[in-house]
Every structure is written in structure tokens, then in C-alpha cells.
Structure 1
Amino acid sequence: MAAPKKTALPASLAGKYKGSFAYNTIKDRLPLILTKVIDTLHRHKNEFFEEHGEKGMEAEKKAIASLSKLRNELQTDKPLIPLTDNLPDTAFWNKYLEYHQNTSDEPPSWFQSPWLYTECYMYRRIHEALARNPPISDFDVFKEEKAHNFFESQQAIITLCTYLQETLKSTEKHDELLKKDFLKLLQVSLWGNKCDLSISAGADSSQKSDPLQSVEELKSFILVDHMEDVWSLLKDRKNPDSQTTRLDIVLDNAGFELVSDLVLADFLLSSKLVTEIHFHGKNMPWYVSDTTLRDFNWTIRQMQSANHKSMSKCGVSWESYVKKGAWVYHSHLFWTLPHEYSSMAQVSPDLYAELQKSNLIIFKGDLNYRKLLGDRKWNFTVPFHQALNHFHPAPLCSLRTLKCDIQVGLKPGQGEQFTKTEPEWMIIGKYGIIQFDAAS
């Protein structure tokens, strides 16, 4: 009997499709981000001089020269070139470039190659520009914007922390009350994903409104709502036998979104819906506002030292969770590679095996969704499970506000209707999804 035919995958999103979101991102948004990075380095030149003398000034000039060259390559659609910094992931990147050179009729370039690849490549080249220029190689060019987002969202953070502290006062809750609080905090974590600095090209995107009040107002904007499935999974595992229930959260943005994720994590742990939480963040500054270990630790310290009682109480609890090992932070290099997640088992089998230990994985944000789906032009009605293309380490859930033109699992006609009435519905962050896959 003949083997079943392997279904061909849809084409990748790419900048070669003029007028597409990918095209506009590469043409307009990425050069703007590079310009801001160059400006940031320039503004810190006195600081580099004070800390490192002439070596610091020289490193700043060289890094700016590399970044200016990179911007020119991008704007003129030059071929992508190998990395030369000899970091632990350099060989992976250069092998990936080689793969694209061998499978394409023309050399990989900014507009012609898959958008997921070229956009990730730009952030990796920013890192290279710093990495090759000690003593400023450890400088995070995006840290000011991330800190700004945190401080500008202060009122929303206070509201959220106050709510959490109130809910934690009553530890023995019946399931209905527990469920109500869980669904509310899950939605806050979803809408926290609106605060994305790579989409706004670094412009202010802090959380100004009351995040709890917004939950009811925004409910009708959730296009795929699998909250009940996520709740059922956690509730069914909650029992007095003290079995381990592990939650993994693949983080997205620092700032308000990270706080909303940590508040959800605190609630789940304190309510004994889970017993341990593993956070996965980036090992280098990434997509402007993505969370690194430095951001994770900085946020907990800021919370601890805040003047507001509920905020500082959260910070103290969070540090104790980390110390006790109930919260664990991982920064595997796979998260900053250009690969889609369906290739994780081959490229990084250790990470895939780690995720298989999870009872539920929450993937936050747009970039994670793009990588889950391979950043391909799927039809709107394709089931989520199918679009994951055999990536099923454990039950998983995507929390994402729509900020790029890719979405699956919609009802027939739903996507087309939106396109007719609101042409930019997929890219403006107005709509969200809580999309679950049971992995069985």
C-alpha cells in the first residue's frame, strides 16, 4: 500500500508580496527600529566614555557603523550574509542561511526570503553589532523603552496587584469563584499583549486603562475563545493528592505584559491549580520589548521596592517563588533562532523534551503564534492542530492579540467578513485569541 501523501504546506509570508504587512514592516518599520537603535547608542556615548574611556567610544562608533551598514543592506534588498561573531548560536544561523541558499533560485535577501527569517535575522544582526564590540557588548539597546513601558503602566499594575492580593486573602474557594478569577486574569494576560514595542517601532505602548474593567469591554473581541478548555485541564488536575502540575509560559513582552503574566502565575500557584511554573524568555535583546532574564529579575526588584503595598507584596512573593524553585526561568537559544516550532524536536531536542514534561504550555504573543504556525498563509478555517504541523510537546494554548496577517481556527466566512468590514483587523491589536490544542 502506498504511503499517504504529505500535504504541501502553504507559502511563507514574505516581503516580496507588495502591500502585505510583511512588505510594509520590512520597508518602513524595521529601518525605523534600526534608526532608533543607532540613536540610542549615540545618546549613550558619554556614558560609554565614562565607563570604558576611549575603548568605549571606539566600540560605540564601530557598532553604529555596523548598524548603519545593516540598515543600508535592508533598504536596498541586499543578500543576507553569514554571522561572524562566533557565539553559541552562530553555527545554527549560518547553517540556516546555507539551507535557504541551497533551496532558493536566488540568494536569500530581505524582501525575497520568508519574513519570519529576515525579521529575526535583523535582531540577531543588532546583537552581533554589539557582541563584536566589547566593552559595550552587553548593552541592551532596548532597555530604556522597556523600563518606560513599565513605569508608564504603573496605575494599571497597582490595580492588578491590588486585585490579586484581594483574591489571595480567601485561599479556600469553591470552584466557581476560582474559575471566575482565573478567567479574568487569563484575559488580562491576553490583552496585556497589546503592549508591543516592536509593532509600535518603540513608540509608547504602555497600559493606561484599568485592565480589569477592560476585560468585560473586550470580551466580544476574542475571536477564538477556548478558555473553558484551559480551565477544565487545570481543574481536573487539581486534587488533594499533591501531584505535580507543571505550567510553562513562553513569554513575550517585558513591561506591563510581563507583570500581567506574573500575576496570573502567582494566582495559579497560590490557588494550587499548578505546583510549579517554568518561564521561557529570550537570551538576548529581541523584537524591541521581548523579555530577557535581566528584564525578568529587574521587574521583580522594581515590584519589591515599589511604594505601593500591593505591588511590593507581589514582588516579595515572586522573589520567594524563584528562590524556592517554584518559579524557574529558562533562556534556551532556540527562542532566538529563526526556526518555526515544528522543527524544534530536530533542531533543539533538549528543549522539546523539557516542554514534554509540561501539563500546559502558554505561548504569549504574536511572534510565538507566527512560529507555531510556521508564519504561513494558512486559510482562516484550517484547524489550529493541523497548522501546528506536528508540534505537540504537551497541551498548549496561544494568548495573542492579532498584530500580523495570520490566523487559523476561525468559523467559515468569519475572516472574509472581517476583511470586508475592517480590512486591517489582523494587524491592529484590537482582536485577540485564546486558542487551545490538547496535543492528543
Structure 2
Amino acid sequence: MYRRIHAALAQNPPIDSFDVFKEGKAQNFFESQEAVIALCTYFQELLKNIKDLDEKQLQEELFKLLQVSLWGNKCDLSFSAGEDSSQKSSPLQSLENMVPYILVNDMEKVWSLLVNAKKNRTERSNVRVDIILDNAGFELVSDLVLADFLLLSKLADEVYFHGKSIPWYVSDTTKHDFNWTIKQLGSANHMWMSRCGINWEGNLKKGVWVFRDHMFWTLPHDFSSMSEVAPDLYAELQKSNLLLFKGDLNYRKLTGDRKWEYSVPFHQALNKFHPAPLCSLRTLKSDTQVGLKPGQGEQIQASEPEWMVSGKYGVVQFDAGL
């Protein structure tokens, strides 16, 4: 459907580059202002003391921002079917209450990988993190905050963002959405929002942030086919120290969109897709889930039949690769 919409527009200049979902994405961003302000304020206050944080405190802050990015994935216009999907309040206030709903929590593994990469970096090898983006709006802002934290904490030297090459799944992030969001923040009349936007424009100019899009992200193939269908993209991802896959559709494509037994290992479901160590940050909105403890899924199913599609639960699910 999304490809047909794009094709219809592409054949009709001067609207051939028009994004029919642009208004909805912009509305989601503006309706999430309270949450965006709260997150940008928290982040800028954090930066004042970031050089004084010890390793344990850095870990705690990383875990907070990973969770904000995880639950930001609830803000999905394709999932809400036109209903309000904006983030109205600060997500930081409810993180502790949300921990029990993270069914697989591999944040410790993500931390260990980044710390080890940092210790082993050389003058010739930067630590690189790639974020495969999902939704524009508040979720994108949460991803940008996480990315900047990785740089400023020196857990990463460069961050690559991967978005859609055409408007996709209503609120998925395109290059225009990415640049528009940063410009909106930079020109905001709120001090900390503006500071974030200006700093992030600087990251792009310095080349420590890079945005890439690729047609593969909008093709029907699951990711185990990437090395054959898009070898250039697969080779690019192999340069990364850590791949962060955002959202439900990316999870479905990671696992082949199959109705697996809940306890099937994540590594097995990836079906030899291992360009680099990877982690999925995903709220559950479709009926595929792997890597759970024996009986865990069945236990939730007994009391909550809609648990796999409600967006109530999430995973931070890591695979180290080969």
C-alpha cells in the first residue's frame, strides 16, 4: 500500500516528492512538546555534570535513556489508526514502574559491549553505533538524545542513523523528518530544546552523526536476506560496533515475521543475520516474540490475551553475533 501511494505521487509532478503523512508526523511532534521539553531539559542538565560521573552513574544514565527510547516506540501512527499517539508527559517519571513490562532486558550486555569497545579503541578505530530508526515525532527525539549521550559519554565516537528512503508506515522517519525535527528543535523558543537542536546540527556538520537511507528498508525481505539482496548495506552495517534496531516492524524482519515458540533463542530466529552485535528496542505490537523464559509467554497469555499487540510490553533484546 505504501509503495503504491509513493508510486502514484512519483508519477505526478510537481507533487512527486510530497509526503502524504507529513502533517500527521508534525502534529505528533508538536503534541508531544511537554515530553520533548522534559527530555531535553533532563539531558542538558545531565550534560553539565557528565564529566564527573563515575562508571556506575554513566551506566544508570545509559539505562534510563535506553528505556526512554524503548517506550518512545509507543508513539506509532500506523499502530494508533489515527488516534492520538503523542507522548503527553515526561517519560522519565514512569521508568521505574515500567521495568516489570520489559520482558527481555539485556541492557547490561549492551553496556558491557560499549565499555569493552571503548577500552579497545585505537587511533585508527572509532567506536561506531548504528541506529535503525522507526518513528518520527517523540520517538525520534528520544533516539537523538540517546545518540548524543553515547557521544558525550565517550561510549561511541560516531553514530549512523538509518531511515526510510520513501514515506513508509505512516510515521516512519525519512531524511526530511530527521532534518526537520532537528531544525524545529534548534529554532524553538525553549532554551534546552534549542540547545539540543543546535548541538545536533553541529554533530551532523562535524560528521560524528551521519544519516543514511536505503531502499532495502522498504522492501518485503526479512533481514536474513540482506547480504544477498543489499550486500552494500550489509557491508556498511558490518563496520558498526553495535546496531540498535528500533520498533516492531524491524523486530518482525529480524525474526522473519514467524509465529515462533516464545522460548526459541533470539540468535536462532535471526537466521544467520549477524553483520555486527545488535539489540532490538521494541514495544510489542504484533504476534511474534522469541527469547522468553520457558512458560513466560504462556503465563502472560493466560491473563492478557492481547499482550503481544497492545504496546504494553517491551524488550531490550541483544545478540552478540557469531
Task: Determine if the TM-score, normalized by the shorter chain, exceeds 0.5.
Answer: yes
1-structure distance, mates of 2:91, 2:122: 35
Q: Deviations over 1:376-427 (max 9, x none)?
A: 1111000000000000000000000000111000111111111111000000
Match of 2:297 among 403, 411, 415: 415
2-structure distance, mates of 1:389, 1:241: 32
Match of 2:95 among 211, 215, 227: 215
Number of the residue aligned with 1:229: 109
TM-score by length of 2: 0.97
Moved over 4 A (4+): 240-243
2-structure distance, mates of 1:234, 1:138: 39
1:237 partner SS: helix
In 2, are the aligned partners of 1:383 and 1:408 still within 8 Å (CA)? Answer: yes
Q: Deviations over 1:225-245 (max 9, x none)?
A: 000000111111223855410
1-structure distance, mates of 2:127, 2:54: 19
Across the aligned residues of Structure 1 and Structure 2, the Cα RMSD in angstroms comes to: 1.0
Indicate yes or no: 2:320 matched with 1:432.
no
1-structure distance, mates of 2:126, 2:209: 13
Number of the residue aligned with 1:140: 19
Which amino acid in the other structure matches residue 167 of structure 1?
L
Number of the residue aligned with 1:189: 69
User: How far did residue 287 of structure 1 move?
Assistant: 0.1
Number of the residue aligned with 1:6: none
1:198 partner SS: helix
User: How far did residue 126 of structure 1 move?
Assistant: 1.2
Match of 1:162 among 13, 33, 41: 41
Number of the residue aligned with 2:231: 349
Number of the residue aligned with 1:171: 50
Match of 1:203 among 66, 70, 83: 83
Which amino acid in the other structure matches residue 128 of structure 1?
A
1-structure distance, mates of 2:116, 2:45: 25
User: Which protein shows a greater Rg?
Assistant: 1
Deviates more, 1:201-210 or 1:156-165: 201-210
User: How far did residue 162 of structure 1 move?
Assistant: 0.8
TM-score by length of 1: 0.72
User: How far did residue 205 of structure 1 move?
Assistant: 0.1
Higher relative contact order (CA 8 A, sep 6+): 2
2-structure distance, mates of 1:130, 1:376: 33
2:173 partner SS: coil
Question: Which residues of structure 1 form unaligned runs of 5+?
Answer: 1-121
Match of 2:143 among 241, 250, 261: 261
1-structure distance, mates of 2:294, 2:162: 34
Match of 2:134 among 242, 252, 268: 252
Which amino acid in the other structure matches residue 194 of structure 1?
K
2-structure distance, mates of 1:385, 1:136: 43
2-structure distance, mates of 1:284, 1:203: 23
1-structure distance, mates of 2:50, 2:315: 30
2-structure distance, mates of 1:125, 1:417: 41
2-structure distance, mates of 1:145, 1:407: 29
Count of residues in Structure 1 that have an aligned counterpart in Structure 2: 319
Deviates more, 1:251-260 or 1:193-202: 193-202
In 2, are the aligned partners of 1:202 and 1:288 still within 8 Å (CA)? Answer: no
In 2, are the aligned partners of 1:356 and 1:394 still within 8 Å (CA)? Answer: yes
In 1, are the aligned partners of 2:159 and 2:209 still within 8 Å (CA)? Answer: yes
Alignment of 1:315-354 (within 5 A): 315-354=197-236
Number of the residue aligned with 1:306: 188
2-structure distance, mates of 1:348, 1:197: 28
Q: Deviations over 1:330-385 (max 9, x none)?
A: 00110011100000000000000000000000000001001001111111000000
In 1, are the aligned partners of 2:117 and 2:241 still within 8 Å (CA)? Answer: no
User: How far did residue 171 of structure 1 move?
Assistant: 3.3
Match of 1:381 among 239, 252, 263: 263
1-structure distance, mates of 2:84, 2:176: 21
